[in-house]
């Protein structure tokens, strides 16, 4: 009958065996320390990103956003194909909205086409980009205004800036110090159209959008109907909902706010 081999370490002389065991203990401690550092870094990143984003000047935000728009227009986006009267009607309706009590950041609505995803997103410069495909997928102007109000909420809370800084923390810090933001601009332009938002960011943007619509006497049901209309088409696989998840909690909060 074949027996199990005795571990070779048993045959090693005692002094050497102790050295081997100490070596493995040090390796284990080093791995534990590395794991703790990594966990601490993951916890600290959002806080560091928020502080760094808060330290960014308005001029730097505008420069970053304008650079991103330039990159997107060169490599990704194309001019809108929506009829000009439709663009003017939507832009006029959005521009006519009066800011709620907390104010509104400077912003500009831009229509674009050619993006692979039917989405809308706001750049740190205040440019809110909406893809033709998203406008065409929504049932009416009220739903489009609800989506734009939601994006303005992201802009008001500076969600895009904080997220971009978090994704490229060290280059962002280096760019702020050196003034050379070219790498951050290119990286951010690639990330912006595909960033999925956390639940908390969505709730905050919804709350601002509700305040904006309510302040202007508009029905809040469009905040529910817009994502539900997209969900009815493609479920959670719709590109816009993939970035702006319609969780049960979020939908319940929208219904509660609309019922007030």
Is residue 29 domain-shared with residue 137, that is, in the same domain? no
* pLDDT at residue 123 tops 50: yes
DSSP state of 111: E
* pLDDT at residue 247 tops 90: no
Is residue 37 domain-shared with residue 80, that is, in the same domain? no
Does 90 map to a domain? yes
3-state secondary structure of 122: strand
SS3 readout for 198-244:
CHHHHHHHHHHHHHHHHHCCCCCHHHHHHHHHHHHHHHHHCHHHHHC
Query: Which residue segment(s) compose the domain that 160 sits in?
Result: 57-258
Which pTM value belongs to this model? 0.79
Does 78 map to a domain? yes
Q: At 39, which helix (H) or strand (E)? A: helix 14-55
Is residue 88 domain-shared with residue 211, that is, in the same domain? yes
* pLDDT at residue 220 tops 60: yes
Grade residue 137 by pLDDT with cuts at 50, 70 and 90: very high
* pLDDT at residue 240 tops 70: yes
Is residue 152 domain-shared with residue 51, that is, in the same domain? no
* pLDDT at residue 11 tops 70: no
């Amino acid at each position: 009958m074949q027996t199990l081999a005795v571990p070779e370490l048993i045959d090693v002389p005692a002094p050497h065996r102790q050295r081997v065991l100490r070596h493995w203990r040090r390796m284990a401690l080093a791995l534990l320390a590395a794991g703790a550092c990594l966990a601490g870094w993951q916890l600290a990143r959002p806080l560091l990103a928020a502080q760094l984003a808060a330290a960014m000047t308005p001029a730097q935000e505008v420069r970053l956003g304008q650079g991103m728009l330039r990159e997107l227009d060169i490599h990704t986006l194309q001019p809108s194909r929506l009829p000009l009267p439709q663009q003017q009607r939507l832009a006029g309706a959005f521009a006519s909205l009066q800011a709620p009590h907390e104010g509104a950041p400077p912003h500009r609505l831009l229509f674009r086409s050619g993006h692979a995803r039917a989405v809308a997103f706001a750049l740190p410069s205040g440019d809110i980009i909406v893809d033709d495909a998203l406008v065409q997928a929504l049932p009416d102007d009220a739903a489009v205004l609800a989506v734009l109000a939601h994006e303005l909420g992201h802009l008001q809370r500076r969600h895009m800036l904080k997220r971009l800084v978090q994704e490229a923390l060290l280059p962002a810090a280096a760019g702020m110090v050196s003034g050379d933001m070219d790498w951050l601009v290119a990286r951010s332009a690639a990330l912006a159209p595909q960033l999925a938002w956390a639940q908390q960011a969505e709730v905050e943007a919804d709350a601002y959008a509700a305040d904006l619509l309510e302040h202007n006497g508009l029905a809040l049901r469009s905040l529910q109907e817009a994502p539900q209309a997209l969900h009815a088409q493609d479920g959670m696989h719709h590109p816009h909902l993939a970035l702006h998840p319609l969780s049960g909690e979020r939908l319940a909060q929208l219904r509660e706010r609309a019922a007030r």
